Structure 1
Amino acid sequence: MKKLLFIGDVVGKNGCDFLSERIYDIKKKHEIDITVVNGENSAQGNGITKFSADMLLRLGADIITTGNHCFKRRDSMDIYNRDNILRPLNFPDGCPGKGIGYIDCGYYKVAVINLMGTVYMEALDNPYGAMDRILETVNTPNILVDFHAEATAEKKAMGYYLAGKVTAVIGTHTHVQTADETILNEHTGYLTDAGMTGPEESVLGVAVRPAVDKQRFKYPVRFTEAQTPCFINGAVISFDEKSGKCTKIERIIDR
């Protein structure tokens, strides 16, 4: 039995710094074998840069997934030349990077697929068709899907669609951890959203006052990262590396 740690969207410098303080204890406590981190907001001011990506990799991320902010920093597009930094699978052909990466663990390997939803999001390729095509090429039963999507209904539907086909489907993007972890079809671990890693007293990582003013008054404001105590959200997925079957999924909140 192996254990995979998935860390929800890391937000800004504070999120990266707090993760650096706690990640080793978390991995030791849960006896983690593999670590996947969503880093699409890890740069100061959101997006991901070479600096923030390198920091997450130094902290032990085997693969970094992203989402709708993957190309926010145009000066960091070359990070997607790396095999361990992904962008959503269903971006158009010709975009830098790829949506699947592999973690070679010797006698077994794990495929990580980064996928993005289309409800209330960019009009990308149909995520269902993209998954059907990529699964035909995957030669391991151990498959983690980071489904970066806004609508909970889209995430739930994708979870059921992939039940029995992949090891786990973990949602990201909303920065709010859901309490619906389950195992679908006695095979696929599922969580609608893993949550975020960053300032807990915030609006999705943003300082409260400007976020409230933006919604209340509808005038332009400059968002800044909240300077409040942080927490780490994520999930631990236990799986049988021979069959790819998830045997347990556990949410984590570390303060």
Structure 2
Amino acid sequence: MRILFIGDVVGDRGVQMIQTYLPKLKRDLKPQATIVNGENSTPVGRGISRKIYKQLLESGADVVTMGNHTWDNKEIYEFIDDTTKLIRPANYPGKDVPGRSWTKLKVNQATLAVINLQGRVFLPPLDDPFAVADKLVTEIRKETPVIFVDFHGEVTSEKRAIALYLKGRVSAVVGTHTHVQTSDGQIIDHQTAFMTDAGMTGPAAGILGMQPASVIQRFLDQRPARYVVETSEPGIMSGCVIDVNDETGHATKIKPVLIDDAHPYDL
């Protein structure tokens, strides 16, 4: 099974990059499943709307994952319970949390499970992602060994730790949230694919997708600043493609996907 994963879609420019390049990537890379992180995809860079969710699916996403901005656009409450293709972090605390924390899809004769988790270091103190992952993975492996985890976290150590903790029990752990693609794609012990961060999809000219001025000003004076999504050219699209053995669930290959001015699309 080949899985294509695209990192955090940011603002209108990110959605445009998805609409332009995702169909081409699917045509040329021929993934059997495509997963897109959409937690920053509204024009203000926080949350997702019904319209954008549909646009991501229409462009080729099979599953949309979220993160710490899951609830920032209140419209999500109107449709998250009605779909199996939009998932939010599994370790949100409390009972009756809206939406789903994992989903599955049939890929030929195999089944792919997709889990969304959020880290706790320098992020809101959700429930323990390690304990939640333990429980979920144990249950899901009764049905399929092919499991992809989008781990939405701030620090590299936590992302690496969860990958090593789940080694051999999941097919892949790919980090999101920090919006900068890392060059450490690897297969841990010939079992689990790992990349610390898939990177972002959106405006390349800003700072993590935001207009530079307010971000720089906050560094200068350490006062609260209103971040505004960058809308100008150029754009960037980041992610990875992973090959998995359907029978064992072990990953066999991971390769970064990067499209920007320095890396034009040339497949």
Which interval holds the TM-score relative to the shorter structure?
over 0.9
**Quick check: 2-11 or 211-220, which moved more?**
211-220
Q: Secondary structure of 2:25's partner?
A: helix
Q: Secondary structure of 1:196's partner?
A: coil
Using the TM superposition, give the Cα deviation of residue 141 of structure 1 relative to its aligned residue in structure 2, in angstroms.
0.8
* Paired position in structure 2 for 1:111: 113
* Paired position in structure 2 for 1:239: 244
Alignment of 1:157 onto 2:164: no
* 1:85-100 correspondence to structure 2 within 5 Å: 85-92=86-93, 93-100=95-102
* Paired position in structure 1 for 2:190: 186
What is the rounded CA distance, in whole Å, between the counterparts of 1:120 and 1:223 in structure 2?
Answer: 19
Letter in 2 for 1:111: A
For residues 111-134 of structure 1, what are the alpha-carbon distances to aligned partners after superposition, in whole Å with 9 as ceiling and x for unaligned?
Answer: 000001111111111111101111
Using the TM superposition, give the Cα deviation of residue 79 of structure 1 relative to its aligned residue in structure 2, in angstroms.
2.6
Q: Secondary structure of 1:214's partner?
A: helix
* Paired position in structure 1 for 2:78: 78
Work out which of the residue numbers 149, 170, 181 in structure 2 matches 1:177.
Answer: 181
* Paired position in structure 2 for 1:125: 127
Q: Secondary structure of 1:216's partner?
A: helix
Letter in 2 for 1:59: S
What is the rounded CA distance, in whole Å, between the counterparts of 1:233 and 1:56 in structure 2?
Answer: 15
What is the rounded CA distance, in whole Å, between the counterparts of 2:75 and 2:8 in structure 1?
Answer: 21
* Paired position in structure 2 for 1:209: 213
* Paired position in structure 1 for 2:264: none
What is the rounded CA distance, in whole Å, between the counterparts of 2:63 and 2:51 in structure 1?
Answer: 15
Q: Secondary structure of 1:9's partner?
A: coil
- For the 8 Å contact 1:180–1:192, the answer to whether it is kept is yes
- For the 8 Å contact 1:79–1:85, the answer to whether it is kept is no
Using the TM superposition, give the Cα deviation of residue 220 of structure 1 relative to its aligned residue in structure 2, in angstroms.
4.1
Q: Secondary structure of 1:58's partner?
A: helix
Q: Secondary structure of 1:71's partner?
A: coil
Q: Secondary structure of 1:183's partner?
A: strand
Structure 1: segments with no counterpart, 5+ residues: none
What is the rounded CA distance, in whole Å, between the counterparts of 2:181 and 2:158 in structure 1?
Answer: 16
Per the normalisation by structure 2, the TM-score is 0.92
What is the rounded CA distance, in whole Å, between the counterparts of 2:15 and 2:194 in structure 1?
Answer: 25
Q: Secondary structure of 1:102's partner?
A: strand
What is the rounded CA distance, in whole Å, between the counterparts of 2:76 and 2:244 in structure 1?
Answer: 34
Q: Secondary structure of 2:17's partner?
A: helix
Structure 2: segments with no counterpart, 5+ residues: 261-267
What is the rounded CA distance, in whole Å, between the counterparts of 2:155 and 2:79 in structure 1?
Answer: 28
Aligned residues: 254
Q: Secondary structure of 2:239's partner?
A: strand
Using the TM superposition, give the Cα deviation of residue 236 of structure 1 relative to its aligned residue in structure 2, in angstroms.
0.2
* Paired position in structure 2 for 1:134: 136
- Identical residues among aligned pairs (%): 37
What is the rounded CA distance, in whole Å, between the counterparts of 1:78 and 1:106 in structure 2?
Answer: 32
Letter in 2 for 1:229: P
Per the normalisation by structure 1, the TM-score is 0.96
Alignment of 1:225 onto 2:212: no
Q: Secondary structure of 1:137's partner?
A: helix
For residues 130-166 of structure 1, what are the alpha-carbon distances to aligned partners after superposition, in whole Å with 9 as ceiling and x for unaligned?
Answer: 0111112111111000000001100011111111000
Alignment of 1:43 onto 2:42: yes
